[in-house]
């Protein structure tokens, strides 16, 4: 990956991160502390640490410890989505009925992980980071882990499970839909657009203060509880060194398109090699047409999913229907108790094509309810 003049923007963002680290210390990476009396109080605070791999310092959060693992309950590794951070899984971990050893990784250029000297991000980089970070943690001869990914993280998890099927015991994909099929005729235009984008530095919005970040989160999802928004805002954004101003802990170059066509047939070959039981979960109101129009539909995605040897599929739905099965192998229905909990169900009704961070936060409670009563995720994880 080369670097154009837009990498000067990355240097500025790194400077902002350095200023944030100096101003807030470890809070840049993760903080269980509350910013005010109304903030969320984590039930299971995480430990924050770094692993150096592929020349970058990768930030991880850890809940529980390795003593909690066994052959049928290994470490659970959670992979966040685009423009997200590992700390967003805090609410999911807090909703677990039992303690468990869990690791969540900030992808390169997100959260407290290093930003590479590059102007474009490519999918193989994420697989490489995941592989080397796990090697650093558990050794090359490591036992299989349980792997969960949301959105972009779900896509990475699928590809990794197909690349290293012997290293994944159970697989959970939360709306990692993949990408629309590209045509060879698209390639020249896509390359030209990428070249044009290289000439203009990517920008991320800045916020007046941490409260403005929380407001942004609740505007995106009005169902996000105010205490969670206040806590998450402190994990998502750090000080820029300009008074109370905050910037998202993300490299703006993540917004730049890839110059390469999506090779869907290649992805399907990865899917075919997945041997771990797969649990697919999507929201009943997720609308992929918002992003891709008629280029890519849910029906097409589920056709792709058919090549996975062992896949169960569930829709997180409205209170009246709870979880709707969309494959014969899926366990039907949901319990009366879970159906009665309207607030939990309402909190998981996504408005965007993939569950954004607020929805995965909300699904923290709902996932525990859904997976214990509807799916019994203990059979997977």
- CB-based contact 29:17 (threshold 8 Å): no
Q: What is the CATH number of domain 7-379?
A: 3.40.50.1820
pLDDT at 352 exceeding the cut of 90: no
pLDDT digits (tens, 9 = 90+) for 276-308: 999 999 887 777 887 788 888 888 899 999 999
pLDDT at 172 exceeding the cut of 70: yes
What pLDDT is stored for residue 344 in this prediction?
A: 28
- Beta-carbon neighbour count of residue 72 at 10 Å? 9
pLDDT digits (tens, 9 = 90+) for 242-265: 999 999 999 999 999 999 998 999
The mean predicted confidence, pLDDT, of the chain is 79
> Which of 252, 283, 259, 262 has the alpha carbon at shortest distance from 83?
252
Comparison of pLDDT for 126 and 351, the residue scoring more: 126
- Beta-carbon neighbour count of residue 206 at 10 Å? 15
What pLDDT is stored for residue 150 in this prediction?
A: 93
**pTM exceeds 0.85, yes or no:** no
What pLDDT is stored for residue 164 in this prediction?
A: 98
Task: With cut-offs at 50, 70 and 90, classify the pLDDT of residue 346.
Answer: very low
What pLDDT is stored for residue 35 in this prediction?
A: 56
pLDDT digits (tens, 9 = 90+) for 127-146: 999 999 999 999 999 999 99
What pLDDT is stored for residue 241 in this prediction?
A: 92
DSSP letters spanning 194-229:
HHHHTTS-----EESSHHHHHHHHHHH-TTS-HHHH
What pLDDT is stored for residue 315 in this prediction?
A: 87
Indicate the domain borders of the chain. Answer: 7-379
- Per-residue pLDDT averaged across 28-39, rounded? 64
Question: What b/e readout covers 328-354, taking b as 16+ CB neighbours within 10 angstroms?
Answer: eebeeebeeebbebeebbebbbbbbbb
pLDDT at 333 exceeding the cut of 90: no
- CB-based contact 287:299 (threshold 8 Å): no
Q: How far is the C-alpha of 379 from the C-alpha of 381, rounded, in Å?
A: 6
């Amino acid at each position: 990956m080369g670097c154009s003049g837009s990498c000067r923007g990355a240097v500025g963002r790194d400077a902002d991160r350095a200023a944030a680290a100096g101003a807030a210390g470890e809070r840049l990476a993760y903080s269980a502390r509350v910013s005010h009396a109304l903030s969320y109080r984590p039930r299971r605070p995480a430990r924050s640490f770094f692993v150096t791999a592929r020349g970058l310092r990768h930030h991880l959060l850890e809940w529980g410890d390795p003593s909690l693992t066994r052959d049928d309950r290994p470490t659970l590794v959670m992979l966040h989505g685009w423009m997200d951070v590992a700390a967003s899984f805090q609410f999911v971990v807090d909703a677990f009925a039992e303690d468990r050893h869990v690791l969540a990784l900030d992808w390169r250029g997100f959260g407290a992980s290093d930003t590479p000297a590059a102007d474009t991000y490519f999918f193989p980089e994420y697989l490489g980071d995941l592989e080397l970070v796990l090697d650093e943690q558990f050794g090359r001869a490591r036992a299989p882990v349980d792997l969960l990914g949301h959105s972009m993280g779900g896509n990475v998890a699928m590809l990794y499970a197909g690349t290293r099927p012997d290293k994944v015991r159970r697989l959970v994909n939360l709306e990692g839909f993949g990408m629309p099929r590209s045509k060879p005729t698209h390639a020249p235009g896509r390359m030209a657009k990428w070249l044009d984008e290289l000439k203009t530095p990517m920008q991320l919005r800045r916020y007046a203060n941490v409260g403005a970040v929380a407001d942004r989160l609740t505007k995106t999802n009005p169902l996000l509880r105010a205490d969670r928004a206040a806590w998450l805002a402190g994990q998502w954004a750090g000080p820029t060194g300009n008074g109370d101003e905050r910037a998202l802990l993300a490299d703006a170059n993540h917004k730049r398109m890839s110059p390469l066509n999506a090779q869907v047939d290649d992805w399907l070959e990865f899917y075919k090699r997945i041997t771990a039981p797969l649990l697919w979960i999507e929201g009943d109101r997720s609308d992929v047409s918002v992003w891709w129009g008629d280029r890519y539909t849910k029906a097409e995605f589920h056709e792709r999913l058919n090549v996975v040897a062992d896949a169960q599929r569930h829709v997180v739905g409205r209170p009246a229907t709870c979880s709707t099965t969309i494959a014969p192998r899926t366990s039907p229905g949901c319990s009366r108790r879970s159906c009665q909990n309207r607030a939990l169900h309402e909190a998981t009704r996504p408005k965007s094509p993939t569950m954004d961070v607020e929805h995965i936060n909300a699904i923290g409670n709902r996932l525990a309810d859904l997976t214990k009563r509807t799916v019994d995720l203990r059979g997977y994880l």
